[in-house]
Each structure stands twice: as structure tokens, then as C-alpha cells.
């Protein structure tokens, strides 16, 4: 059997695809949980929790070759799991889109703004959860079929030079994105942004740790070759 991944590239943090793919191998080492013996700076053990290991491997019609889909990899990624739990703790309907949210640029910033505008999508008009277009009824007001459509549009807006290069902080966005703005808007956005960035950092540590653990398994090269379904 040939190993699917080159281990040197797998532990390269800049290669997200390789890391996530290696994470999918962890159920073969331990079907329920990959637990680190190390702890983070705040003494919390880094745990990579495979929510449903059985969905990772399916029998295909081609000689029982194991099939791993992109959707299944993403749904078991530490960042997706942590964000989903975080949003569910806030009773946010956006939790259903966690795997798609993390694919967008500046998603932490967009979510932070949605907190002060709509409590993470709990109070939206026309699925517009960040007040794009002043207010409902205004000619510039934007309507969306789904909250995910709004989120993608919001992230595109934040990628425009005016917000990506000039109004880069919540303080600077006061009076520009939100008018007139308030201390509560700025402070609320900053608080949630900090929480989301901390969540992202912890998930990245878990990814790196999982990749390292996979490379320490001497039987890695004996795993059946996997097919990544697009």
C-alpha cells in the first residue's frame, strides 16, 4: 500500500489541505479520541474530538476502496467543531453554517460585527445580519435568501480596500460602517473578535498536534490508500 501523504509536507502548517487530511486519519489510530499528553499555556488539555468517526470512512463500489469526502473532513476539523460549539452556546442560527463560515476571508471580523448588529444572527431582517445598507426600507438595504448568502457578502465587503486597508479596526469603522456608532458597538465587536481569534488559535494548535501525532504512528504507511472525493 502506498501512503497517501508525504509526511514532511503534512506537518507544514502552511499547507492546510495536508493537515486537515491527516486529521482524518486519526480515527484509524483511535476511533473515539486523540488526546494530547501536553497542555496549553492555560493548562487546558488539547483535545481533538472526532464527533462521529464512523462517517469518515465509507465503502465505495470500487473494490471496497475507502472514500473520504471534503465535507466529512471539514465537519471534523477542530476549527469547525469549536466554532459550531461556540455559536450554539450563543443560540446562534449561524452555527449551521460553521464549516462554510471558516472558509471566508476575515470571518472572525464579520462575525464580531454580527454580534453587535444582530446577536450572531438571532435578530435579522431579510437575513441581513450586519445591517448592510443602513436599515430595512432604505434604497441601499440588502436582502438575502439565506444567512449564509449574507455572510459571504459581508466578508466580500470587508475585503474591499476601504475596510481592508483603511478602516481596519473597529474604532476606525465607527462613524463609517456604523453611523454614528457607539462605545458599546466598538467594545462589543472587539470582545467577540478577541474570543474568535483565541478560538482560531487553539484550533490551529490542535491541528498541528494532530498532524504531529499522526507522523509518530509507525503504521502510517500501512493505511489503505484513500481517495479524496471532490
The pTM is what?
0.66
pLDDT band with cut points at 50, 70 and 90 for residue 214? confident
Q: How is the chain split among helix, strand and coil, in percent rounded to 5? A: 50, 10, 40
Cα angle, residue 142 at apex, residues 141 and 144 outer, rounded to 5°? 150
Mean pLDDT on 147-160: 98
pLDDT digits (tens, 9 = 90+) for 4-29: 333 333 334 334 444 444 444 444 34
Give all domains of the chain, ordered by start, each with its CATH number: 7-80+206-229 (no CATH), 94-202 (1.10.530.10)
Asked whether 38 and 46 are in contact (CB, 8 A), the reply is yes
Distance, CA of 155 to CA of 146 (rounded, Å)? 15
Asked whether 53 and 215 are in contact (CB, 8 A), the reply is no
Q: Is the pLDDT of residue 39 over 60?
A: no
Mean pLDDT on 191-209: 96
Asked whether 93 and 84 are in contact (CB, 8 A), the reply is no
pLDDT digits (tens, 9 = 90+) for 52-109: 544 444 444 444 444 555 556 666 799 999 999 999 999 999 999 999 999 999 999 9
Amino acid at each position: 500500500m502506498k501512503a497517501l501523504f508525504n509526511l514532511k509536507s503534512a506537518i507544514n502548517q502552511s499547507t492546510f489541505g495536508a493537515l486537515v487530511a491527516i486529521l482524518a486519519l486519526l480515527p484509524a489510530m483511535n476511533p473515539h479520541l486523540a488526546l494530547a499528553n501536553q497542555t496549553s499555556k492555560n493548562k487546558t488539555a488539547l483535545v481533538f474530538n472526532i464527533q462521529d468517526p464512523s462517517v469518515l470512512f465509507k465503502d465505495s463500489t470500487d473494490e471496497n476502496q475507502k472514500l473520504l469526502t471534503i465535507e466529512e473532513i471539514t465537519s471534523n476539523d477542530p476549527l469547525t467543531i469549536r466554532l459550531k460549539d461556540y455559536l450554539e452556546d450563543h443560540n446562534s442560527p449561524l452555527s449551521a453554517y460553521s464549516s462554510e463560515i471558516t472558509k471566508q476571508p476575515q470571518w472572525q471580523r464579520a462575525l464580531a460585527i454580527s454580534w453587535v448588529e444582530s446577536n450572531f444572527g438571532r435578530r435579522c431582517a431579510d437575513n441581513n445580519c450586519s445591517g448592510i445598507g443602513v436599515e430595512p426600507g432604505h434604497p441601499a438595504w440588502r436582502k438575502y435568501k439565506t444567512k449564509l448568502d449574507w455572510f459571504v457578502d459581508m466578508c466580500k465587503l470587508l475585503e474591499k480596500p476601504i475596510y481592508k486597508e483603511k478602516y481596519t479596526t473597529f474604532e476606525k469603522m465607527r462613524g463609517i460602517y456604523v453611523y454614528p456608532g457607539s462605545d458599546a458597538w466598538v467594545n462589543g465587536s472587539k470582545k467577540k473578535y478577541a474570543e474568535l481569534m483565541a478560538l482560531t488559535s487553539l484550533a490551529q494548535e490542535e491541528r498541528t498536534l494532530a498532524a504531529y501525532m499522526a507522523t509518530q504512528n509507525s503504521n502510517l504507511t500501512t493505511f489503505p490508500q484513500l481517495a479524496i472525493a471532490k
